[in-house]
Structure 1
């Protein structure tokens, strides 16, 4: 399962979801969904836009692979 570490990154950078939504051109609802759930699939275009908006250079800064819970 893929965890999007959006909440942690936003806290580190001092950016709100609203600010990121405007800067990245992504709906706030889409960011909220990434922020609150572990994902089995993700929109790579959204990840690219988020990474560009937050000046993130490496996927491991925003994505984490976590084992499935049985």
Structure 2
């Protein structure tokens, strides 16, 4: 059988400001989103601006390892 070499892969995006600041004192966690990217078009790590419910603002969410 052939190995699974999908072009589209699922990635997890995590809030970079929550991780850097050690999570706000009022918050209960770190904001994470699940998205997909095309491995051939975007070989580097993905970074998107998303809303973080713990920071209460739009922040940069970067791709993390599974």
Fold shared per TM-score above 0.5: no
Greater relative CO (CA pairs within 8 A, separation 6+): 1
Instruction: Compare the two structures and name the one with the higher helix fraction.
Output: 1
The normalised TM-score by structure 1 is 0.28
Instruction: Compare the two structures and name the one with the higher strand fraction.
Output: 2
